[in-house]
A and B are shown apart, each in its own frame.
Chain A
């Protein structure tokens, strides 16, 4: 999902042109169940064990499986490579029981050695999320081929690890990666996994092809013969390809929201919002607390009051989003609390707060100027940037938009700290400890994307985060994270504006759609095509 804007801009035309001429043979041969999917980006790194991001999962999750997948059922998890997991009383170990009769695509049997290798050599040292999540992981013991015992140096809640399993636990084959440079291994391109589909082919700018794994462990699965991801970076092209019947599925809102009403009326196509529940994106305003004006709580409160969330929902997200009250989205069944400080849209209150803070209106109505850096990854973040500039102008803050491409934005905000306000699309991943508390916890090294790089430091909040990280009792843990939401909304280290998710446009012939809350990035073993 992270394509650089300038690169994307340049490539859009050429790639759309290429895509329109590509695959004539593939597109016609649909009899045996070939699902054709629109892909809006081409990740350079396809290994989900190293880069745990949705853009990578979208393609690679069909080939490389995690220990467990998210589920709509009670408990929220469906066993994949692990059939069971149990934590010890002291929280210092977790025992995974692994599935029998699983083999890698090259025929080698899957065993606990693969899990131990993946955890110690890949997830912990290399993975973007695993680096912090498995920081206390000391060793993985493998008493027999179907048991893996994770040993931690500090008490680690089973709830946290279980919540993180679908995202962090993609298992790699030890025999392919051992003794090589893992990051540069050719298998990161031509993936080898245990999943329902095998790696087929990749033509840059054209398509990815995945073919059926005939020896998949799931009985009678998968239903499809193969999956083609057609590279269609142009959003308008995705919509017309669907209408022309050349593509069965466009996920991750690759059809522009403004076009959805029209597309929904096209016979044979449906708009599906289900299947993204565990992929909630949060639209947040990151604040640089080194900026004198913004270190003042009253100024931050004024900014929060100046944002009309109803307007943002209606015009930018066209209703496909929810208002955010705090750092945990309302659709989270476990941790969310609405009992937090809220900031209703109120320009008069915002102006009064700025006056109190000692920033009176100067000539021309301007109080002070700020640099605003909207993340360029999504149309929504850029549009919200345009909106926020106007919303701030209404209370006398002159915000100048500083545009960057994706790489430049990451560097400017997270390494150089050359921003006052930034707009980020962060992801809530089922547990606040996975990728949410890092947004406000102090002491993050420079250059870590989507972490607290605004110089905010609140010892009380840090202590709370640290305590929750080693609290084993479920209820106590939940209570601590509710306190966390209250503290964040009261002190506003950042401002949560909206929680949004994606939509898929699917042809009616596709069956088994949105069967779990991470459906687009799950393995699609149960997805099929009807005539």
Chain B
């Protein structure tokens, strides 16, 4: 018997952290008003020593807490946007391939293969190096390596759905093939893809952090990856500069993953117990 999503403990834990994160990201300008990169105090104040700057300051004297809060904004924005773009692109290509069949399917799926054999991170790295780092380029770069999963899933689902009676009925009613594919079949192929989406979000958050760590993030917005990279030079003398954003990153990825697992289990009826 499959338990509903909300009765799973891992879903509650992951969901709670994720919800908190999304709230923090959404209300960042209210929680930490002003420019998070503004110089707020003496440089390198250790955490928990100054009530006004609870997490201390970095090398330039910027408030670590404000950076962390606004960094959540970037992570959430990039994670969700990249997943959205990847799912949308993947669904479209996968549905088209699955429904059309024949040469079109072969051509589309070879394109999917071509993208899939290149490691996603390398693809993102190359894309950002060429296009120049800005938030939307980063989103696109991550989606570029992530859309193939949804495409394959959607195609597999559409392959079985297109033989259904309701498709035949739609044909009889005189609906155009595109209408059948995208209005009748695609919505039904969505659930398994949605379950993968949360994994894409987690991967996107990590990829964005890794890109920023290598100096390929948007320098005008705060990102956790860039914070870790900044702190790395002081790893031996002020390790907290890297550890604090590192913990935030770990929590985000774990909570997304937990929610994703729970979502997959309840959507597909799979249950470990």
Chain A interface (Cβ within 8 Å of chain B)?
Answer: 5-6, 9-10, 235-236, 239, 256, 258-259, 261-262, 311, 314-316, 376, 379, 383, 385-387, 389-390, 393, 400-401, 403-405
CA distance A218 to B35 in the complex (A): 61
Q: Which one of B35, B133, B220, B235 has the greatest number of beta carbons of chain A within 10 Å?
A: B220
In the complex, which residues of chain B have a beta carbon less than 8 angstroms from the beta carbon of A383?
59-60
| Interface presence of B272 (CB below 8 A) | no
Closest to B234 in A: A258
- Contact A262 to B236, CB < 8 A, known contacts A10-B125, A390-B37: yes
The stretch of B85-93, B147-155, B211-219 in contact with A is B211-219
Partner of B129, one of A6, A256, A379, A390: A6
Q: Is the CB of A379 within 8 A of B233?
A: yes
Closest-by-CB residue of A relative to B229 is: A9
Query: Closest chain B residue to A401 by CB distance?
Result: B219
A-B pairs with beta carbons under 8 A, tally = 66
Indicate if B232 sits at the interface (CB-CB under 8 A): yes
Known contacts A315-B60, A403-B133; A259/B236 CB under 8 A: yes
Q: Kindly state the separation between the CA atoms of A189 and B51 in the bound complex, as whole angstroms.
A: 58
Q: Is the beta-carbon distance between B237 and A259 smaller than 8 angstroms?
A: yes
Using known A-B contacts A236-B232, A236-B235, determine if residue A6 contacts B215 with beta carbons closer than 8 Å. Answer: yes
Q: Which residues of B contact A (CB under 8 A)?
A: 35, 37-39, 43, 59-61, 125, 129, 132-133, 214-216, 219-220, 232-238
**Once the chains bind, are B220 and A239 in contact (CB under 8 Å)?**
no
* B131–chain A nearest beta-carbon distance, Å: 12
Q: Nearest Cβ distance between residue A428 and chain B, in whole angstroms?
A: 26
B232 to chain A: which residues have CB within 8 Å?
Answer: 236
B238 neighbours in A (Cβ, 8 Å): 258
The contact sample of 22 A-B pairs, CB cut-off 8 A, is A6-B215, A9-B216, A10-B125, A10-B214, A236-B232, A239-B236, A259-B233, A259-B236, A261-B237, A262-B237, A314-B43, A315-B43, A379-B233, A383-B59, A387-B60, A390-B35, A390-B37, A390-B60, A400-B220, A401-B219, A401-B220, A403-B219
Assembled-state Cα–Cα distance A5/B236 (Å): 23
User: Roughly how many angstroms separate A259 CA and B132 CA in the complex, as a whole number?
Assistant: 32
**B residues less than 8 Å from A315 (CB atoms):** 43, 59-61
Given contacts A316-B59, A390-B35, 9 further A-B contacts (CB under 8 A): A6-B215, A236-B232, A258-B238, A259-B237, A383-B60, A386-B60, A393-B38, A401-B220, A403-B219
Least Cβ distance of B226 to chain A in Å?
A: 10
With A and B bound together, what is the CA distance between A404 and B130 in angstroms? 10
Query: Contact: B236 with A405, CB < 8 Å?
Result: no
Give every chain A residue within 8 A of B234 (Cβ-Cβ). 256, 258-259
* Cα distance, A236 to B234, chains bound together (Å): 9
- Contact: B237 with A393, CB < 8 Å? no
> Beyond A315-B43, A390-B37, A401-B220, is A9–B214 a contact (Cβ under 8 Å)?
yes
A386 and B220 within 8 A (CB)? no
Shortest Cβ distance from A10 into chain B, in angstroms? 7
Q: Which residues of A contact B233 (CB under 8 A)?
A: 235-236, 256, 258-259, 379
CA distance A87 to B61 in the complex (A): 54
Q: How far is the CA of A379 from the CA of B234 in the complex (A)?
A: 12
**Chain B residues, CB < 8 A from A404:** 132
Say which residue of A5, A316, A393 sits within 8 Å of B35 (CB atoms): A393
Contact of B215 among A9, A314, A389 (CB under 8 A): A9
**Bound: A401/B38 CA distance, A:** 14
C-alpha gap A211/B263 in the complex (Å): 65
User: Nearest Cβ distance between residue B158 and chain A, in whole angstroms?
Assistant: 39
Bound state CA distance, A261 and B37, in angstroms?
Answer: 27
Instruction: For the complex, give the distance between the alpha carbons of A405 and B129 in Å.
Output: 8
Which of chain A's residues has its CB closest to B211's CB?
A9
